[in-house]
Structure 1
Amino acid sequence: MLSFGFHNRNKRASALLSLAGAAIFSATAFSGALARDGAPHAEEPAVEQPLHMLVSLNEQTIKVYRGLDLVETSPISSGKSGYSTPTGVFSILEKRRKHFSNLYDDAPMPFMQRLTWSGIALHQGRLPGYPASHGCIRLPRSFAKSLFGITQRGAHVVVTREAAEPLSIRHDVLPQPFVPETEVASLSGDNIAADPALRGAIREASVETPMSVVLPENPYFDRPLRMIITPQKQPGRVEVLQKLLNQMGFNAGPADGVMGRKTRAAISLYQEGADLPVTGKLTDALEARIRADAGYVKPRNAMLRVRRKFHDIYEAPVSIRDIETEIGTHVFTALDFEQGDGSVNWIAVNAEGARGAKPMDVLDRIDIPEEVAEDLSRMLTPGTSLTITDRSFKRNTGLGTDFVVVTR
């Protein structure tokens, strides 16, 4: 369990935070009243939802969204026969206003936004009205320039055959911002002075307003996380048996999944000690008996990985029910929220169309341990995405990359 930032040795600290929060609210209400009486005040900043792009190869279009809102559409020219543009989930890895191809005779690629280190990018180019590139996604000049000016490294680009669109979605599996529980207590100057855990977290307000508590902030709040859940290959029946027999002191040899001489001998020794018929053969009943005696707990069958700015920062095992059933590839993105908010809305994009299950059905099959869910809530930032897929993803290349999922 992660600590929220105060020492447990002085429980009064957490108990006093609530009243301090009320003081902040009172001060805010007071300043709001002044604003209504004519005092100048700054306008609330406009909410800026996460930017993401959806490319349809069949329609030869790119659509730019902020959250659920479509802000721009443009024609494209994707890869021609023999150089087809891959479909999947990508992120912008690199941006260059002036770039020349490393693969095709230094061909100019203005306003280049790289999607893979193997040669796929968005860039300005000729649009004849049909797929004509060597795999890149060509854009009209004005659109390429405009898009270049509003994107950042890490922004999602989802490439599909049929057109896709983002949909609003709510589900318990999708993380929500962490909100600590506090209790009401008096917050006097004597209490603060006597409490070193509080002194560093409190600033003195003006003479007219009470004391206020400054809660610790997430220093990475402006950096969206990239999360992915993928199935993990499970050990075979014999491999698990070998590990359990070895744990119990029977020498079953290396856990290689091969029912060899040592493994059969270990089974015989176990049967003899358990007053069972000594056969050296594995049956369903014997397997269940060995698992029970060894206290075997079936491992989780999927892995959650988290990256920030192309670097791995967290991973934990999770579970997928009915793992043999197709999942497809789905991208879930958290919309904008402020620090201290108790909830956030999410959107979903189906990156494989008819293949696999619907986004809500996929979420119904995911089980995340409680402690992992709390960790994710504490780390959550606006624009964070969660990709759930039964495809493999490209790992680190040494050049800095993201969870790239190719669906063809």
Structure 2
Amino acid sequence: MERSLPGHFANSVWGPSVQTIVKINAGAISGSLRLSTVAIFLAAGLLVAATPERAEAQFYPWGWGNTAPWQQKPRRQRRAAPRYVEPTDEKPATALPKPTGPLVLVVSIGKQTVTVYDDGKVIAKSPISSGTASNPTPTGIFSILEKNRYHYSNLYGGAPMPFMQRVTNSGVAMHAGDLPGYPASHGCIRLPYSFARSLFGITDVGARVIITDEDPTPAEFNSPHLVAPLPPDNVVQNAAAPGASNMIGVSPATAGDGTRTRGMAAARRAAERDRLVSAITEAENAKTAAQNQAIAAAKAVQDGKDLIRKERGEEGRLAEAARKAAKAADQAADKFKDLTAKLAKVDVATLDAATLDKQKAEEETEETKMLDDADAAVAAKRVAETQSAKAKQAVADAGALEKARKVAAEDVRHAEEVLEGAKATLVAADALDARKDYPVSVFISRKTGRLIAKLGFVQVLDVPVTIAAADKPLGTHVLTATHFTDGEKALRWNSVTFKPSETAQYIRRKKRRHDDEAPVVAASHDADAAAALERIQMPKETAEQLAELMKPGSSFIISDYGLSRETSARTEFVVEPWRSRPDSAETRYY
């Protein structure tokens, strides 16, 4: 019996050839029907690939009936982000002058303006467009942390953000954009294109940006409680002269360091570094000695354990010997007792002399053996007791050795901590020395009671401070040193007092989840920076260290609030008072 191919094989141009090839006997295929069927289809596929004629239905590796060769689908091309086109009807902005001191940018949400201050003087002012009510621009104290001439938003479909100057890690930035005359952005600060380009050219990363609902103006500021810079090397500062120790919390009577100069401070830093290097060497030696002591203590503990095993083994052996000796003594006593009882029943009158002598000798022998076994049992017991005492003493000695080992291990841990601390101190000192030419930024928080200092975004200090009447608000103030005065023996300062809005409305937050959301009572609008400085007392060592770092561009931020979650290793200090406003009917959170 022959089996025919399916119709679509038989009707094709190569059907007869395939039929000739696959004619088979039904009896021969009965045991391997499935395997032969697979072979048929494979053969058909090979014939298809080798046949030049077209067919109505052909088999391809990717399916039946598709006569066109398989081709990979082209990859979807990424859509190019739209480029921002500079408006042609915009009035060109006047080129901004090169700054002579640190810049401070004040963004007023209420007035929809940005004002650029150089050395406390206005050098530019421009309209802006801030965030809408549903995407408000956060208010607070920020700094420029990144600049990018060509930037596209990764949050809003690649929207162009030319001349982008980022102020928060979460995406708020100043950039060129459309200004419809009212808040219209997703939270960024839009600037006119020509002004954004001019501003981009004069700012540096780290420039201070103050965003507020009002429009505060930097004012010249002076206080005897400001940290004064060290004078140059060619100036000898009189300790009794006014301003010789203008350090927060350090009075002229207690400063005792009025003659220090920058060169002296540098020499002291070098000597301190040498001391730290020596301290590290001493700590390493102490650690090595502690480790050796710990190794010896561990070996002594192991030897003590070995001795315990040995003494306890001997104790068991001697205890067993004493038990056997006592048993032998008991048996000898019983045997002698039985012998004497037996002899007591014998009528000596019936015995001859030889028999009596034999019984007497036997009795004496058993008595002697009984006495000897009793003495041996007593001696064995005494030896066993002595060995038991030795085993107990070995256990006690091992306990003392274990305590000594723990003390040695604790000494090693302490030595490691001292060494790591010495190394960390040296690293911190080197980091501070490497960045000593950067202006220092200082943040003092009433909320945390701490002072933190950064040099070029790198934290170099974090110490506690004492704040008089700590339950009363200080206000939030930004003090900026603009330039040297009096032969570089002093600095000129200006101040900006941040005044949170009392009428801003935000969406209520259901649950506080961050430290910067803990409620803080805000200061009144008459908060004064000079009064705040008078209440702050920092450690003398900290004030002296800051005096070495003070230069134009240095700043103090004094605030009732803590640092915002936006503060990171790539930012300066970020303060956002709106996050810490207490719940009330008038004020809500976003």
Tell me, yes or no, whether TM beats 0.5: yes
AA partner of residue 108 (structure 1): P
**Contact 1:50/1:66 (<8 A) preserved:** yes
For the residue of structure 2 that corresponds to 1:63, the secondary structure is strand
Displacement, 1:157?
A: 0.2
Bigger relative CO (Cα 8 Å, ≥ 6 apart): 1
For the residue of structure 1 that corresponds to 2:117, the secondary structure is strand
Matched, 1:113 2:260: no
Give the equivalent residue in structure 2 for 1:344: 491
Matched, 1:124 2:179: no
From 573, 577, 585, give the equivalent of 1:403. 573
The number of equivalent residue pairs is: 266
Displacement, 1:399?
A: 5.8
**Contact 2:476/2:497 (<8 A) preserved:** yes
Give the equivalent residue in structure 2 for 1:72: 124
Give the equivalent residue in structure 2 for 1:103: 155
Give the equivalent residue in structure 2 for 1:389: 559
**Contact 1:326/1:355 (<8 A) preserved:** no
**Contact 2:439/2:549 (<8 A) preserved:** no
Displacement, 1:394?
A: 2.9
Give the equivalent residue in structure 2 for 1:226: 441
**Bigger radius of gyration:** 2
Displacement, 1:47?
A: 8.6
In structure 2, what is the Cα distance between the partners aligned to 1:232 and 1:78? 30
For the residue of structure 2 that corresponds to 1:402, the secondary structure is coil
RMSD: 2.8
Matched, 1:58 2:58: no
Matched, 1:374 2:544: yes
Deviates more, 1:152-161 or 1:356-365: 356-365
**Contact 1:178/1:342 (<8 A) preserved:** yes
Give the equivalent residue in structure 1 for 2:138: 86
For the residue of structure 2 that corresponds to 1:378, the secondary structure is helix
In structure 1, what is the Cα distance between the partners aligned to 2:492 and 2:226? 9
**Contact 2:169/2:566 (<8 A) preserved:** no
Give the equivalent residue in structure 1 for 2:462: 315
AA partner of residue 325 (structure 1): K
**Contact 1:395/1:403 (<8 A) preserved:** no
Higher helix fraction (1 or 2): 2
From 212, 224, 228, give the equivalent of 1:176. 228
**Contact 1:228/1:306 (<8 A) preserved:** yes
Give the equivalent residue in structure 2 for 1:269: none
Give the equivalent residue in structure 2 for 1:138: 190
In structure 1, what is the Cα distance between the partners aligned to 2:198 and 2:176? 11
For the residue of structure 2 that corresponds to 1:335, the secondary structure is strand
Higher strand fraction (1 or 2): 1
**Contact 1:327/1:356 (<8 A) preserved:** no
AA partner of residue 312 (structure 1): Q
Matched, 1:327 2:474: yes
Displacement, 1:321?
A: 1.2
AA partner of residue 165 (structure 1): T
Cα deviation digits, residues 382-404 of structure 1 (max 9, x gap): 11111001112136866612211
Structure 1 unaligned segments of length 5 or more: list them: 1-45, 185-213, 234-301
Displacement, 1:79?
A: 0.4
Displacement, 1:173?
A: 2.4
In structure 2, what is the Cα distance between the partners aligned to 1:388 and 1:395? 17
Displacement, 1:320?
A: 1.2
Map 1:240-319 → 2, pairs under 5 A: 302-319=449-466
In structure 1, what is the Cα distance between the partners aligned to 2:568 and 2:497? 29
1:146–1:402: structure 2 CA closer, same or farther, 3 Å change rule? Answer: same
Cα deviation digits, residues 134-177 of structure 1 (max 9, x gap): 00000000110000000000000001111100011111222111
Give me the identity figure in percent: 43
AA partner of residue 541 (structure 2): E
Q: Which of structure 1's runs of 4+ aligned residues deviate more than 6 A?
A: 180-184, 214-219
1:397–1:378: structure 2 CA closer, same or farther, 3 Å change rule? Answer: closer
1:338–1:222: structure 2 CA closer, same or farther, 3 Å change rule? Answer: farther
